[in-house]
Structure 1
Amino acid sequence: MQYHGSSAYDQSVFLKAYLARRHRPNSPNNLIERPIMLELIGEITGKRVLDLGCGDGRFSADLIERGCCFYEGVEGSLQMVQEAQAHIEAHSSSIQHISMEDWQPNEASVDLAVSRLAVHYLRDTHNLFTKVYHALREDGEWIFSVQHPLLTASMKSADIGRARTDWIVDDYFENGMRSEPWIGEQIVKYHRTIEDYIQGCLKAGFSILDLREGKPIKALFEDEAEFARRLRIPLFLIIKCKKNP
């Protein structure tokens, strides 16, 4: 069976396995992607933040610690929403149980919009980017991460089913649906090139402020072999944009 969007996270066995994997000590999300996201976000004292595809909501603690005055999460999985509600500070946060496709923005209501490793689940990014643009206030910023297009281009390496010693890149310019074997299930993602992500942001009205591919920082790794392995291919693409007037 193939799972689209956030539907896999409403399967209890999958969710339990995902959370254990996601929060393991050597998770590349924690050692590579999260530090870059926080660097690009910077200080956000007094700002309202929107988190699209917020998952278990634990990122809200980072954002509130950095001074955001209100955190709003959007999440399509009911089980993830329940996880998030256990982690967020109720007085300064809210979680909407709605998919990113169905979410409708309040005009000029937030200062910063973020999304961590969720946009690649969407068939239509133009609609999302346009909605984010309208949700942001003047000079608002949009920062998101996706699985790196070198990985989503082909699932031939993912089919190996073990720690990879090399990676196959194929069909890079063939955009569209991919079905990835992951944590015992088939998860649908959508491949786009780096150029496609950049052009999508520009067409929605954003200017590009920064782009990162997640080069590992040795000081963050306790396992030297893991650090060496993560130097071989980028796992993440992180883009920072600004709303043009």
Structure 2
Amino acid sequence: MAQNIYDSENFFKNYIQLPRQVKGLAGTPEWSALKSLLPDPKGTQFLDLGCGFGWVCRWSRENGSVAAHGVDVSEKMLCKARSFPTDSAITYTRADLETFELPPNTYDIAFSSLSFHYLKNLPSLIQQIYKTLTPGGALVFSVEHPVYTAPQDPKVVPGSEYQTIWSLASYLDEGPRISNWLADGVVKQHRTISTYATILLEAGFALAALEEWGPTQEQIKASPHTAFSFLLLKAVKAK
């Protein structure tokens, strides 16, 4: 089962204070880059895996999706998502993404933000996503950049003003990493960029985009905690 750190009282108390949770997509610096990879949601069935507070589900509806379905392992996350104004076309399911089974040929777009690096059994989920997408459907997701998940002892070394130095080690040694991010004992799964691409290709996807996103100096200056990079990927199911 995936670690459900988000239902930890201490973790959640700190997590909800992050700008991306207080401000939603307006406080998510990589959202513009992610959005550019997403197909137009108008007229689609939209799936958000690791949906959190449901920001992207609501965005898809605001931009014309027929329906949006969010899945998350955290009851606290889903409780918050359901607290927003009701939209009968947005539904939520609590489920463990490690073992979740999706219905075939159901969704046109699958999305996930910063969830897949927690999953040990990611290849199985990617296969499920391929199965659930309609022909020509797209998967767009972000994960912490492997440069940041690699170290066995992750830590930032202070650099010059608005610059941080990350101690990179063990990049090719894939597997679990334990960090103390917002709470002690947070487990993340380190994979190389090539492994993420291979998982997609072996599931049958065509790789459509790969972007290594990082914040600008202005963004770091405004919010020092954003000084991390993400890997953004888009994969498409054959028509």
* TM-score, length of structure 1 as denominator length: 0.86
For residue 170 of structure 1, what is the aligned residue in structure 2? 169
For residue 46 of structure 1, what is the aligned residue in structure 2? 43
CA distance in 2, matches of 1:240, 1:52: 15
SS at match of 1:241: strand
Compare relative contact order (CA 8 Å, sep 6+) and give the higher one, 1 or 2.
1
2:179 corresponds to 1:185: no
2:224 corresponds to 1:225: no
Q: CA deviation at 1:6?
A: 4.8
For residue 142 of structure 1, what is the aligned residue in structure 2? 139
- Runs of 4+ that moved beyond 6 A: 24-29, 227-230
Q: CA deviation at 1:36?
A: 1.3
CA distance in 2, matches of 1:134, 1:86: 31
CA distance in 2, matches of 1:22, 1:123: 28
For residue 14 of structure 1, what is the aligned residue in structure 2? 11
CA distance in 2, matches of 1:64, 1:148: 29
CA distance in 1, matches of 2:148, 2:188: 11
Alignment counterpart, residue 108 of structure 2, candidates 102, 108, 111: 111
Per-residue CA shift, 1:175-227, capped at 9, x if unaligned? Answer: 00000111132200000000000011000000011111114357xx4x67358
Per-residue CA shift, 1:152-190, capped at 9, x if unaligned? Answer: 0004343779x9731111100000000011113220000
Count of residue correspondences? 237
Q: Which amino acid aligns with 2:229?
A: L
2:197 corresponds to 1:205: no
Alignment counterpart, residue 239 of structure 1, candidates 206, 209, 233: 233
Q: Which amino acid aligns with 2:212?
A: E
Contact 1:207 1:243 in 2 (8 A): yes
Per-residue CA shift, 1:31-55, capped at 9, x if unaligned? Answer: 4321111111142101000100111
Contact 1:57 1:88 in 2 (8 A): no
2:123 corresponds to 1:123: no
Contact 1:158 1:181 in 2 (8 A): no
SS at match of 2:42: coil
Contact 1:141 1:243 in 2 (8 A): yes
CA distance in 1, matches of 2:170, 2:213: 22
CA distance in 1, matches of 2:3, 2:63: 28
Taking only aligned residues, the RMSD between alpha carbons, in angstroms, comes to 2.9
Q: 1:67 to 1:6 in 2, by over 3 A?
A: farther
CA distance in 1, matches of 2:23, 2:221: 11
